[in-house]
Amino acid sequence: VRILDLIAENKKSSPKRKGIYTTGIIAQHDGRQIVLFFSGRQHAGENLDDILKHRSNLLGTPLQMSDALAASKTKRFETIWCNCLAHAFRKFEDIKDYWPDECQLVMAFIGDVYETDRIAKEVGMNSLERLKLHQCFSSPVMEALKSWLDQQMEEHLIEPNSSLGKAINYMLNHWTELTRFLSVEG
């Protein structure tokens, strides 16, 4: 019955919006994963708000993984907002033909993080072990990446309005959310 209520709420969204958006939400309940998809005029953050109003306050602050769009963030509930490192990676992958050396460097840094995560999954680490592994191996990689990104902008080595400058600024502007995997379990 609650799912039908959520679908009805989604249909009541602003008639001024012309686009159709699809939101995927993965939740865990009693050790099972539940996947919900919403298609309609509401943005991801609004759909998440509709879900979270049914969530018990006793469960603690939920993790929210999304892109960095403001419309993806919940407006009514506190979450630990995490941004997807793959989105940042893709910004560099999309422009690598124009900035091959710079993009290859950034993609190699991020690739090292993904390799660490692959190893963690391969050996079956739990979320706390995985966090500690990332803190040990991925933290220095991300610190080196941040230093390089900062240097490009502070020393005016890259034009901020260029495609590379925009990709770098995306990472710098969302650094905390992009690096939650270094401080938040799960």
| Digit-coded pLDDT (tens) for 5-40 | 666 665 555 558 888 888 888 888 788 999 989 889
Neighbours of 179 (CB within 10 A): 22
What's the count of helices (H) and strands (E) in the chain, helices before strands? 8, 4
156 — alpha (psi -120 to 50), left (phi > 0) or beta? left
Of 15, 40, 35, 13, the C-alpha closest to 25 is: 35
Pairing of strands 63-66, 80-83: parallel
pLDDT at 20: 87
Condensed to tens digits (0 to 9), the pLDDT of residues 65-74 reads 999 999 999 9
Taking the whole predicted model, whether its pTM rises above 0.85 is answered as no
Which is more confidently placed, 20 or 125? 125
DSSP 135-181: IIIIHHHHHHHHHHHHHHHHTT-S-TTSHHHHHHHHHHHTHHHHTGG
